Amino acid sequence: MDTSMKICIIGAGPAGLSAGMYLEKKGYRNYTILEARDHVGGKCSSPEYNGRRYEMGAIMGVPNYYAVNDVEEFCGFTHDGPSLIRKYKDMNGNEIDPFNPKKNVTRIPHLLALKKQVKKLGELLETKYKGYDLNGHRGVAEGRYDGFAQTPARERVSGENENLKDLALPFSRFCRLNGIEDVQEIWVGPYTSFGYGYFDDIPAAYVLKYLDFKTAMNFFKLNLTTWKDGTQSIWERLDAKLTNHARLNSHITSVERKDGKVYVTVNGETEEYDRLIVTSPLQYFPDYADARDDEKEYFSKIDYERYDVMAFLTKPEDHPDISYYIFENMQPERYGHLMVYYRRWRDDINQPITTYALRNRPGHPEIPYDNCKATVLHDLEVMHNPADEVIREEDWYYFPHIYSDDYAAGWYDKVEAMQGKYNTYYAGEIMSFGDMDETAEYSRELVERFF
């Protein structure tokens, strides 16, 4: 393509800013990033309190977050945040250690079986499900894989594997099919508690592309990375480094695509572009754009998680000593309850603690926000760490996804076939997964494939 073409990128979260970076690396300079909010980073949200930043969205990464590593290298910084440790409680507030055989003698047979199943899953993913871990979902519903290997070199790979069709099944069914039901006990911690839904509902493809075996083991072994100024600082530094900084407070009221051009009306002025990259929620694209029938059809199938994050202060005597996971509250029947509460800094009790709760599941009433908040505050009392003051709340549009029937029917291949069709390219969370590295990596691949 002509590197002088004018490109509009909608959204300055990890996907949009990464698209700008990878375009710039290929020689494109005539790009514009439009962001509706007054800051960059999307759900990488790191407000400040008492001179330090805490997290209201993404918290951590792992060493194999290669796209985030690209950003660090491009900007000249590295991960320098506090190390993460955690403990566990049951739903009644009692501290437990569920994976320690010395403290769970009666569970030793189960823990041994769990260990064998985890090993079996690793073997299955390397053999039966070869190609499962490529970024994005191209070809999966058709029994093939096509993309870039999740290695630092990102070599292009492709092939046929009929077994990949199993990834359209809900993860719980996928596990039953393969005789590895117990591995859900491991995967649920970094999956459901981070707002990505329940294993009875979510296609296995999402679970295993986010928590591929290497990533899951890094989470379990606490081989994690953080950033002193929070995950938002990753994208703030990238925005500052880019030739063209994101234009904040940009309110788009219309997108019109005609005569080989894209006309974007932003803050009352119409701007002309050659190409459009949409990294903001595709579900809402038809609300302001001249969406075609195929865009309306496919984007209407997208759902998302109602994931609430709350920051609160405690009295000194009520401050938790560490972050806690409550596995019992990560089960579907306990939706709306506190799943995790996170203490970021070990050396200071004058800091906010953040809570995480899901208040929706398919086929059940959505719990109103205030009701969920009241449940979480009550759960904190049960955990013996009551809130003294709530200082910040977020009701996120979280983890856009589709369900198993649409996945199996080839939703992703149909949308991928539309890339560039209306001088428009689709990126962001729905095209890969809702964590910062997967979305950034998809932007890298999009630029590599089409620009």
Say how many C-beta atoms besides its own lie within 10 A of residue 127's C-beta: 10
φ, ψ dihedrals at 248, nearest 5°: -80, 165
Residue 119 Cα distances to 83, 113, 159, 425, angstroms: 27, 10, 25, 39
Neighbours of 332 (CB within 10 A): 17
In Å, how far are 137, 228, 229, 234, 350 from 344, measured between CA atoms? 34, 10, 11, 17, 11
Residue with tokens 């595709």: 282
How would you classify the pairing of strands 7-10 and 275-278? parallel
Q: How far apart are CA 133 and CA 137, in angstroms?
A: 9
| Residues 381, 391: Cα–Cα separation, whole Å | 17
d(CA 1, CA 307): 40
Q: Which residue ranges form the domains of the chain, and what is each CATH number?
A: 7-81+229-302+411-450 (3.50.50.60), 109-218 (1.10.405.20)
Outline where DSSP puts E strands in 335-401: 340-342, 353-358, 389-401
Which residues of 123-219 form beta strands (DSSP E)?
A: 144-148, 156-160
pLDDT digits (tens, 9 = 90+) for 44-61: 999 999 999 999 999 999
Q: Give the pLDDT score at 151.
A: 85
**pLDDT tens digit at each of 451 positions of the chain:** 899 999 999 999 999 999 999 999 999 999 999 999 999 999 999 999 999 999 999 999 999 999 999 999 999 999 999 999 999 999 999 999 999 999 989 999 999 999 999 999 999 999 999 999 999 999 999 999 999 988 888 999 999 999 999 999 999 999 999 999 999 999 999 999 999 999 999 999 999 999 999 999 999 999 999 999 999 999 999 999 999 999 999 999 999 999 999 999 999 999 999 999 999 999 999 999 999 999 999 999 999 999 999 999 999 999 999 999 999 999 999 999 999 999 999 999 999 999 999 999 999 999 999 999 999 999 999 999 999 999 999 999 999 999 999 999 999 999 999 999 999 999 999 999 999 999 999 999 999 999 9
Nearest to 400 by CA among 288, 282, 278: 282
Question: What is residue 112's predicted lDDT score, i.e. its pLDDT?
Answer: 96
Its pTM stands at 0.96
pLDDT for res 1? 81
Strand partners of residue 303: 401
Alpha helices in 262-363 (DSSP H): 285-288, 293-299
H-assigned helices in 383-430: 404-408, 411-416
Residue 31 has a pLDDT of: 98
Q: Which residue has the tokens 């959204």?
A: 11
